A and B are shown apart, each in its own frame.
Chain A
Amino acid sequence: MAINKPYNNRAWLGVLPVLLIVAFSAVIPLMTVVNYSIQDILDFNSRFYVGLDWYRETLQDPRFIDAFGRQVLFSLSVLAIEIPLGILVARGLPKSGAWTSVLLILLAVPLLIPWNVVGTIWQIYARSDIGLLGVGLNELGLAFNYTSNPTHAWLTLIAMDVWHWTSLVALLSFAGLTSVPPAYYQAAELDGASKWQVFRYVEMPRLGGVLVIAVLLRLMDSFMIYTEPFVLTGGGPGNATTFLSQYLATMAVGQFDLGPAAAFSVIYFLFILLFCWIFYNSVMLDNTVGDNEARYHD
């Protein structure tokens, strides 16, 4: 039942300060970047209009393509682990009782740590000379060294991201699962459903909406990842773990090549925008699961 709120123009005045701030801190810089992306800047006084040249160059740059490939691989890998693991953890949590609050808080802790601290924790943790994990693995006979072995660096990065972000998926799934009224579980049990069938037919339909949010959030965020890999591996060994954001930073800040960097930024921005749009549309989709119990209480 849609509800029409009374229309009041004065509400725009409340939004004005926000609009100004956003304009100042986001829109103007964005426009500046777009401006740079279509110019060749040698120094402040000599700028030439080059049209879409930088865009073409960037999209054909082999290092850009490599970084993009690595980025996609990384995002998909962490998603493939975090989503199922998060659901599993959520199912394992008790739905009510004293332990629930304790466990929820414990789960939330990794989410609260500043990202560069996360990177630092893992950087030390995985070091093969003084890190608990690194030394432990070496003791077990694996010649583990993330600074020299690209595969090890990847695995460490993925492990770090999973440790950092699985809790988000777990918490979201938990919220979805607790919305299932006990009658559904009881009915499934009486029907003789196996545990797998209960998961598939009772829990998954409810989790559907929540999972879309979880997937898109994680996809967006992992695509933008910068601090943690930078702190952990610095992009190395070599280029092995240089993702899009880091490559961009190197280009813009390190080499001060503003034109191509700007074009790169715009391309990057458009990707994230695309994910955002998909996210927005999914969240706004009508979800009628749960309409049954809306009016009636036990």
Chain B
Amino acid sequence: MLRIQNVLLNPGLNCGFDHNFLPGGMTVVLGRNQAGKTNLCRLIAGLSTQAAGELSLNNTPLNKLSPQKRSVAVVFQAFVNYPNWSVQQNIASPMVAAGRDKAYIQGRVVGLAEKLGLGELLQRMPNELSGGQQQRLAIARALAKEAQVLLLDEPLVNLDYKLREALALELRSLLDDSDTTVIYTTTDPKDAFTLGDDLLLLDGGGKLQAGAPLSVYQKPNTFAAANLMSDPCINTFAWSTLTDQAFAQQCQAASDVSQLGGVRPEHLFFVDKSEFNATECVGFDLQVSALETSGDETFVHGLVQASNHGLVDQPAWVVRSPGMLNFSQGQELLVAARKRDILAFGGQ
């Protein structure tokens, strides 16, 4: 098991955090840009970084080991391959460095190339490959190292949207059946669901929350943690503005000092006043300011009275609704969310 302790990803921080990575499983590290994800990867890989901390793999401390001696393989954001070696030589390189025998290397190279769809491209050079193929080559090379830990630092971010979708699922099936500890960093919450058995949220160099993706999604500890898993941002409101004050009191009691509640854009839906169920739902009055349709979803932007609390600088709400809706600007609507979907945060 890979363990990190007292990790300080930014030198300016006071206390570090600990985390035990799920052995043999995939951990997704989710955070915004500059949150410290790359620093974390470099720390685990042993590359020079301003992050500091203690690492141990299966109870062997890693700190003193050079990157070559650690059983860690890395796939970077930029497609990093040896430009003057063919695909075959690239995939073989970690095994050649480890001194394996030729037959073994040959077998593994062919196997990995097949698995990653590079079977017919073994003699090509990296600069003849497309972006997606180059990244797959980098992944094949990382897998060839047969390391105990595989780090992928936002590997798909430079690829096209559709290619990203396809490769993410591919990666999942590829890495599922091995007992390598996989750490995958990303800024996209969708990846957390697709690829993660476990989730680690980072913000400003610190650990926000960790756990199974679904439970972090349903029970975020803080506003920042909730925001990370929602695209667009969470909609916030002040507890004092709810009509159902009993419910509001309940939620406030559960959380710490927070005066804000939140609801995810995808959990809001439009209802008729007559159909509104006050026992199960909480309602808000929304005045539509803009509408964006995207195939099967509509994003309704609007202003909600309850959100005008001056505590957080995000007055405009976004509702993510399936189907193609048609509202006019300025239209007043009732938007509701089920009580179980209302989020109460501990601390700001």
Contact = CB atoms under 8 A, between A and B. Distances in A.
B49 interface: yes
Contacts of A4: 48-50
A2 B48 contact: no
Interface string B24-54: 0000000000000000000000001110000
A5 B42 CA distance: 12
Nearest to B47: A3
Contacts of B49: 3-4
A290 interface: no
A1 interface: yes
Interface residues of A, number: 7
A6 interface: yes
Contacts of A6: 48
A252 to B, nearest CB: 49
B248 to A, nearest CB: 44
A297 B157 CA distance: 12
Contacts of A3: 48-50
Interface in B146-205: 158
Nearest to B49: A3
A6 B46 CA distance: 10
A248 B48 CA distance: 50
Contacts of B50: 1-4
A14 to B, nearest CB: 18
Interface in A1-22: 1-6
A4 B158 CA distance: 27
B139 to A, nearest CB: 19
B83 to A, nearest CB: 15
A5 B48 CA distance: 6
Interface string B260-296: 0000000000000000000000000000000000000
B178 to A, nearest CB: 31
A5 B50 CA distance: 9
Nearest to A297: B158
A214 B118 CA distance: 49
A81 to B, nearest CB: 42
B69 to A, nearest CB: 14
B159 to A, nearest CB: 12
Nearest to B77: A295
A297 to B, nearest CB: 8
Nearest to B50: A4
Contacts of B158: 297
B223 to A, nearest CB: 27
Contacts of B48: 3-6
Nearest to B66: A6
Interface string A275-298: 000000000000000000000010
B160 to A, nearest CB: 14
A1 B50 CA distance: 9
Interface in B317-333: none
A4 B50 CA distance: 6
A297 B49 CA distance: 24
Interface in B45-78: 48-50
Contacts of A1: 50
A6 B50 CA distance: 10
Given A1-B50, A2-B50, A3-B50, 8 more contacts: A3-B48, A3-B49, A4-B48, A4-B49, A4-B50, A5-B48, A6-B48, A297-B158
11 contacts: A1-B50, A2-B50, A3-B48, A3-B49, A3-B50, A4-B48, A4-B49, A4-B50, A5-B48, A6-B48, A297-B158
> 8 closest Cβ contacts across the A-B interface?
A3-B48, A5-B48, A4-B50, A2-B50, A4-B48, A3-B49, A3-B50, A6-B48
